Structure 1
């Protein structure tokens, strides 16, 4: 089976002008489109996304961590909101979580890349350019709805979760992962800003000139990064996020958190990778970065999660279920 072509005629815009960026400061949904169209072509490389055992394991690990390892899979039809390049749903499908899928995103560029990735993997996936607050599918259409790092971009999270429950079949489940906690976002941004500043300053030195990206690329990165203040709307307290899901109408709601020590390595590493020329860092660096993150993640899970309140971790995940249909008498 192969992915169907993008049905929406909207064309991606990977190079927003300074005027478009300025306009986006007063229009958060325009900002979402511009920012994510800009990132679409390089997003997988930037975040070291792949569709092999490494990311299969990561995606399935997030799913199991919040749902529980004894979840009955596969689900039949799954939907990913804010799909990006398809990272979460496609990797989950590769591990047998769902048999068919649909992807949606406000960004035409992201939907285009996600469908191309699905086609290359031979997965049965269709896609639409769509707003998560008004999901363009009929009631009771899906067995599973997922998303990764998407809720914090959406203006009305409770409205979106109500829409998710509408398109789920009774008893269907949603799983959202990769959302920033309020405390975690503060230290992650500080780590990112500090790393970017130190790297871009150091690479101005003649001895490190080969490590400096072209100024035009740095300027474009800075313009796009400036939109983060517009596109990153929310951070979450785990308990408050649970209350939001319950208010939307979900049952069996549970939030879980992860990444504390791992975040203190991961954010500087990812920022450094984005600040230096593509291809400058070799396999040894990749092995160090991923290996170090895995070791610190194990420390987070085995030790820190037992003694540190969950609100101090960087990532929060949330799951819930659509109530069963009422029994007619």
Structure 2
């Protein structure tokens, strides 16, 4: 049986095979998503996303300050880089210099390279398994990741690899990972919104403008089925910090984001997938973005009083220890 081509929509048969082979599922899903991922998640490389990435990175970084540490970081590796959303926007923000990317998906590595070229700079990229990185010891000043470790079967093994390739005193910053409680309410909100939106838009007086083509809905359903295969973990912030320490990190810190913004954001995003593209315009996009950013500011205030485990996103940082003198 032939393998699906990178960027091609997965068939129902492909999805069935992926249930029994998680590495295949990871490659299949992310190759499939590579060509449309930026559009799907409203990823861009402009002031909007550069500001989001800068703030998210610094929020996690500053959860465990290191005396004397300064930016920009020099040689940087993004783990599970996808299309380069995190590392390329960090470079645009002036927080990193020499960017290298890795991903299990060849399609994603190529998409990241293409995005970098379009932005006017060159990056190095390798297809790589996070549990066995093809880099020498002590190679990087910083390792970053965004929404990546929940895809990795053995998170502790991956963090040990991250620490191996970091120079002594080097730092990792992983952001955008789902908490256990956040994942629960996000999925329930998403499913409810999908069911309501797809049913209501089929009503005769709405269908012409609002209903998405059935073939597109079927493809979205196959994507959701694969997503359920590739999303392996959710995290309790305290337990994630413990995993980082067991991997060998010191100065471990965690930071969380999105509470009220997640309660609004997941229904808004799901609604956008469920209705015809032509039904929504600039006013909707402005409303959605302003709603999310306003609630994110409220969430920042709630951070001081609400336990981390209730937020949707968690990030973790840690430092590679210096060798103990003999």
Identify the TM-score tier after normalising by the shorter chain.
over 0.9
8 Å Cα contact 2:142-2:171 kept in structure 1: yes
Q: Show the 5 A alignment for 1:248-263.
A: 248-263=247-262
| TM-score normalised by the chain length of structure 2 | 0.94
CA–CA distance in 2 between the matches of 1:180 and 1:126? Answer: 28
Which of 18, 34, 37 lines up with 1:40 in the alignment? 34
Q: How far 1:11 sits from its partner (Å)?
A: 5.8
CA–CA distance in 2 between the matches of 1:31 and 1:262? Answer: 30
CA–CA distance in 2 between the matches of 1:244 and 1:319? Answer: 11
Instruction: Please list the CA deviations of residues 214-254 of structure 1 after superposition, one character each: whole Å capped at 9, or x if unmatched.
Output: 11111111011111221111000000000000000001100
User: How many residue pairs end up in the alignment?
Assistant: 318
Instruction: Please list the CA deviations of residues 70-90 of structure 1 after superposition, one character each: whole Å capped at 9, or x if unmatched.
Output: 851111111111111110000
8 Å Cα contact 2:109-2:127 kept in structure 1: yes
Q: Show the 5 A alignment for 1:1-329.
A: 12-68=6-62, 72-209=70-207, 210-302=209-301, 304-327=302-325
CA–CA distance in 2 between the matches of 1:298 and 1:96? Answer: 24
Which consecutive segments of 4 or more residues in structure 1 shift more than 6 A?
Answer: none
Instruction: Please list the CA deviations of residues 58-112 of structure 1 after superposition, one character each: whole Å capped at 9, or x if unmatched.
Output: 0010111111298511111111111111100000111111111111111111111
| TM-score normalised by the chain length of structure 1 | 0.93
Q: In structure 2, list runs of 5 or more residues that go unmatched.
A: none
Aligned CA distance change for structure 1 residues 279 and 323 (closer, same or farther; 3 Å): farther
CA–CA distance in 2 between the matches of 1:262 and 1:171? Answer: 35
- 1:222 partner SS: helix
CA–CA distance in 2 between the matches of 1:161 and 1:327? Answer: 24
- 1:218 partner SS: helix
Q: How far 1:158 sits from its partner (Å)?
A: 0.2
Q: How far 1:129 sits from its partner (Å)?
A: 1.3
Q: In structure 1, list runs of 5 or more residues that go unmatched.
A: 1-9
